[in-house]
Amino acid sequence: MKILYEDQLVDRDHVKIDLEDRGYQFGDGVYEVIRVYNGQFFTLREHLERFERSANELKMELSYSVEKLESLLKDLVLKNDVEDGGIYLQLTRGISPRQHNFPVGTKTMLTAYPLPSRRPEKEQLHGVKVKLVEDVRWLRCDIKSLNLLGNVMAKQEAKENGAFEALLHRNGTITEGSSTNFYLVKDGVIYTHPATNLILNGITRLKLMEIIKEGSFKLEEKSVTLEDLKNADEAFITSTTIEVVPVVEADNTMIGNGEPGPITRKLQSLFLGKIESEKSK
């Protein structure tokens, strides 16, 4: 396997991460997961723009331009023969003697490599259960940071309870999933949390909002409560790796009639159409 290591494509064995890399010691870094369909990136530019924003919010600079990164990532996909899969991209603040504050000008460390990724067809078809978990993460969830312990613990709790995803809530308000954005449908209106510091503004969320606005759907970027969830007609989650997945049960309570709803179904098929149309560009 070839790995992007700074600005070179190297063999896996060539990659050596230092003991004092701040990503390793503090989770001091940012990342992206980008989907590849038919050997082509989907929404690459959007992911790279978010990557740069996340880095800048943490006072980190990319060591080279987004354009150069784009071309190196395309090379990475080619050299590894990625057909259907994904790319994991990570930037850490780099190496410095262990202390919380960072010396100005520390050289960042960039790595990227292919991840296997398959469409979760069964879940997309039948829908999934979610486990409600209190959102105890920090207040900058808009940054795609390597610090994922809040998300990791929540997802683990979901898995231990036989659920596909943890649905996070703060003071009775639903924020998002542990690795997904969340949507609720009530009386024909689609609700999703506004893109504040409390959620990650998903690229799938942004693409889906384009689709929603192009179609004859009603969308409100407004948060919903756990009480609203009990009375929802439909619910679904989105992310780069799962696309659009219906949610049919939350903590043993059925959502709507317990089946994927018609608006969710329509959005799933329009999203697939978007992927197909980008492929043929």
Positions that interact with ligand PLP (CB under 6 A) = 151, 176, 179-181, 200, 202-205, 238-240
Nearest distance in Å: CB 64, ligand PLP: 23
Supply the minimum distance, in Å, between the C-beta of residue 19 and ligand PLP.
27
Contact in structure between 36 and 89 (CB atoms under 8 Å): no
Q: Which is nearer to ligand PLP, 54 or 96 (CB)?
A: 54
- Taking the C-alpha atoms of residue 93 and residue 70, their distance in angstroms, rounded to an integer, is 20
- Residue written as tokens 């006072």? 59
**Cβ–Cβ contacts within 10 Å for residue 201, how many?**
18
Which residues form the catalytic set? Answer: 144
Q: Closest approach of Cβ 231 to ligand PLP, in Å?
A: 24
| Residue among 83, 40, 81, 34 nearest 276 (CA) | 40
Judged by CB, which is closer to ligand PLP: 240, or 268?
A: 240
Q: What is the dihedral of CA 54, 242, 112, 211, to 10 degrees?
A: -60
Q: For strand 189-192 and strand 218-221, is the pairing parallel, antiparallel, or unpaired?
A: parallel
| Residue placing its CB nearer to ligand PLP in the complex, 95 or 247 | 247
User: Which position's Cβ is nearest ligand PLP?
Assistant: 202
Nearest approach, Cβ of residue 47 and ligand PLP (Å): 7
Residue type, 241: T
Rg from Cα positions in the chain: 19
When the beta carbons of 95 and 199 are compared against ligand PLP, the nearer one is 199
